[in-house]
Structure 1
Amino acid sequence: MATVFLKSIRTVKKIMDVPIQKKTWTPIKLLLLGIAVLAVVWVVATLMSSAGPAKLNVDPERLTISPVSRGDFQEFVPVDGVVMPIKTIYLDAPEGGTVQRILVEDGATLAPGQPIIQLANTDLQLEMVNRETAVFDLMNNLHNTRNLLQQNRIQQLNQMADIDFQLREAKRLHDLNSSLYEQKVISRQEFLQTQNNYRYQQRRQQLTRRSLRQDSLTMGQQIGQMQQSVGRMQSNLALMRRKLEDLTIKAPAAGRLTSLNAEIGELKTRGQRIGQLDMLSGLKVRATLDQYYISRIFPGQKAQVVFNGKTYDLRVTKIFPQVTSGLQVDLEFSGTAPTDVRRGQTLPVRLALSDPTQAVRVPRGGFNQKTGGNWIFKVNEDGTKAYRTDIRLGRQNPEYFEVLEGLKPGDKVVTSSYEGFETMGELTLKPKVD
């Protein structure tokens, strides 16, 4: 018992000799730390809630407030078009010469074949005389050659007739002597003479006929060649006559003469432009577009033009392949063209890039330059404030933007420039007090 008691006393002493460590985070400190954190959070939240979006007082007279609507939307590009005749024929001098007479005035309405200008060219006239003389000489030579060949043929025919006669006589003597020789009346020598003469006349007849046939072919070829030469000369003569006729410049079709450029005594070279003939069958409009639209323009595309308060429909009929300062297209009126429009007049054309569709739309304005179409200031119902609202725009034309998200018909938005308050989140619309 005593031993156990002593051990217990030693154990208690050892425990009492161990130093007690002091705690760092006491409950009181933890409580104070929590109160401090909550205070900081409350202060930050208060500051943030009191700050809100940046605000700015703006006089509404400085702004353009437009309504959002739903209606027809069509992509189009506005261009200026020049009125031109639907077809123009350029008048060039087919032959050079001096202007001798001007038969019509600039601006006159011409009928097909009506003379316009008379030119004079002495070189062509002299060449015409020389060619006529050459044709006449060739025709005389042909006539003389034909006579000579005909005379030669007559001589050959006479010679052939004489040969035929001699052949018949030689045959008669040959047949007679053959009978007499068989009867031993004549000698063999006499019989052989008549036989050789008969055979000679036969051979002579064959050669003469062959020569006559060959001469006939040669004569036909010579006459044919000379006739061809005469034909070619006559064709050249007819061409020369047409060249002389071309000295009188005529209207190739009915139309109005414009841009006449000729004076009495003036020398015109071949191919020189003297004017143009505008067809009276209709008018067209020629427009130049930015080459940005080159992939969106095609024949048959529709367009409109407003003239004197009336709208006229057009369609693209020609797209010029060469692109220099822009893409050039020709448009013709689909129906009746304006009656009082003049050649060279400029008309505003709306060239459609898409078909009309129903869409939510907002009028165009300077707001898009600062927002990029990503947001807009939307006016509240009482018109006292405008709040920054996220939107998404789609297609556009010179009048409207298509709204895909963020706005609905009936909303009012600020569409003027946002210069100076593009960083604001709210606009207070207060009229300026003088």
Structure 2
Amino acid sequence: MDVVVKKKTDYKKVFGKVLGVCVLLGGAVVFYNEYNLGDYSSVKLERVTTSNVIQGSFENVAPVSGAAESLNTVYLDAIQGGIVDKLYVEKGDFVEAGQKIIEFKNTAFQLQVYSQEARVSEQLDINTNTRLSIDSKRLNLETERNEIEYDIKRLTRKLKNYQRLISQRHVSADDVEAVKEELEFKTNQLAIIRQEQESEDSVRGEKVQQLQESEQRLKAHLNIIRASLDDLVVKAPISGQVTSLDIKLGESKSQGEHLGKLDQIDRFKIVADVGSFYISKVKENVKGSIQYQGKPYQVVVDRVYPEIINGTFKVDLTFSDQQPTDITSGQNFIVKLELSEPVSSLMVHNGAYYQDTGGKWVFVLDPENHTAIKRHVKLGRKNDRYVEVISGLAIGEKIISSSYANFLDSETVILE
């Protein structure tokens, strides 16, 4: 009879197999944790753009678009208004300062001016007559005083002669007494005239001063009234080009109504639209530059308009020194605003990836360019070419800098 012999279990072999499986599983876990291949995408290497992390001079600039406009624009308005009687220029014409542009006819206004002019002229005539009256009274008093003084001298001599002749009985005592009385009357009359002259002189000085001041005001008013007729003629306040003139002969325009626009043609500014992101960084006197026909030109922010419309605000930039000689109104430029001085910094090319990730993470390539692993980073300032690297990347490392739209949810990108 056969006897069944039981095999002894080889625990060493079993333990070895279990250990091998554990090692494989552990390696898989380590590999997974290290390379995070959980969610991955594949893409051909030539379909993406890569950029190296470098150390360089980071320029904190903001590129903005703008258009050239006249530095000095004057709006033409109807000061008095009326019927357009004459048109001396057309839109697009070049004019000199003081040159006539439009002439209005306004009969009611002209009659009003003539009426005011007549009233002022009448008042000036009254003032003139008053001054003549004052001067005439002064002359009359002076003449009367001279006559009285002459009479006093004559009567004094006559009294002396009568007093000498009375002893010789050539004149009577009544004759002497009559001369004395007349001399006394003239002397009293002279005292009254002198007192009247003194009083009149003090009053006359004040009256003459008041009349002079009144005449000055009236003449100034008269000049304004006469000059107001010039308001019917619109003249060019500066030399330049008529860039707007929406008006026709015979057309009626109200007082203050807009007529057109005149642009200075030898000096320009650039009006740029700046993203609201830079509202706290762009201030007056911030410098910038443009390129025109291969030559750089320096500009500076002259004015900031803080109102944000459709995500942008406007700034005026003027040329610091020289401006291009052949630019025209409406010509477009790219302006690089210098938000701070250049600094040495770790940086990487700016690209579509920044919009996809907000600069919070990137795909970093391995040395062989076979895979790109998602890595969280901290990026700082950016310009049109580079983004400043704060942390998470080292010099020489390479990232995918093109769009991440096709693998936003991946942890790894396999580059084929």
Q: TM-score range by the shorter chain?
A: 0.7 to 0.9
CA contact (8 A) 2:279 2:306 kept: no
For residues 179 and 344 of structure 2, what CA distance do their matches in structure 1 show? Answer: 122
Structure-2 residue corresponding to 1:394: 380
Partner residue of 2:7? none
Query: What residue in structure 2 maps to residue 235 of structure 1?
Result: 220
Code of the aligned partner of 1:284: K
The question of 1:48 aligning with 2:41 is answered no
- State the SS of the aligned residue for 1:295: coil
Note the C-alpha offset of 1:42: 8.0
Tell me what 1:90 maps to: 75
Return 250-259 or 225-234, whichever deviates more: 225-234
C-alpha deviation, 1:110, in angstroms:
1.0
The residue that corresponds to 1:288 in the other structure is 273
1:265: which partner in 2?
A: 250
- Counterpart of 2:262 in structure 1 is 277
Partner in structure 2 of residue 26 of structure 1: none
Counterpart residue identity of residue 110, structure 1: V
Moved more, 295-304 or 41-50: 41-50
Secondary structure at 1:211 match in 2:
helix
2:371–2:414: 8 Å Cα contact kept in structure 1?
A: yes
TM-score (norm 1): 0.74
Q: Under a length normalisation based on structure 2, what TM-score does the superposition of the two structures give?
A: 0.77
Distance 1:79 1:154 in 2: 83
2:304 aligned to which of 311, 317, 320? 320
| Distance in 2, Cα, partners of 1:137 & 1:370 | 84
2:44 corresponding residue in structure 1: 60
Cα distance, 1:154 vs. partner? 5.0
CA distance in 1, matches of 2:277, 2:140: 89
Q: Which range moved further: 350-359 or 256-265?
A: 350-359
Equivalent pair of 2:141/2:197 in contact (CA under 8 Å): yes
AA in 1 matched with 2:84: V
How far residue 170 of structure 1 moved from its aligned partner, in angstroms, is 5.1
- What is the letter of the counterpart of residue 101 of structure 1? K
Cα offset, 1:275, TM superposition: 1.6
Aligned partner of residue 245 in structure 1, secondary structure:
helix
Partner Cα distance (2:248, 2:60) in 1: 51
Which residue of the partner structure matches residue 199 of structure 2? 214
**Identity level (%):** 29
The answer to whether structure 1 residue 428 and structure 2 residue 414 are counterparts is: yes
Question: 8 Å contact 1:304–1:311 — kept in the other structure?
Answer: no
Q: Indicate conservation of the 8 Å contact 1:298/1:316, yes or no.
A: no
Match of residue 190 from structure 2: 205
Does 99-108 or 382-391 show the bigger shift?
382-391
Instruction: Give 1:286 shift.
Output: 0.8
Query: Does the CA-based 8 Å contact 1:88-1:277 persist in structure 2?
Result: yes
Q: Which residue of 2 aligns with 1:253?
A: 238
- Count of paired positions: 394
How far did residue 145 of structure 1 move? 4.9
Contiguous gaps of at least 5 residues in structure 2: 1-10
Moved more, 148-157 or 54-63: 148-157
Does structure 2 conserve the Cα–Cα contact (< 8 Å) formed by 1:97 and 1:119? yes
The one-letter code matched in structure 1 to 2:383 is N
- CA pair 220-105 structure 1, distance change in 2 beyond 3 A: same
Letter in 1 for 2:197: L
Identify if the C-alpha distance between structure 1 residues 211 and 364 changes in structure 2 by more than 3 Å, giving closer, same or farther: same
RMSD across aligned positions (CA): 4.1
Q: 1:405 to 1:147 in 2, by over 3 A?
A: closer
Q: Which ranges of structure 1 fall in alignment gaps of 5 or more residues?
A: 1-31
- The AA in structure 1 aligned to 2:296 is Y
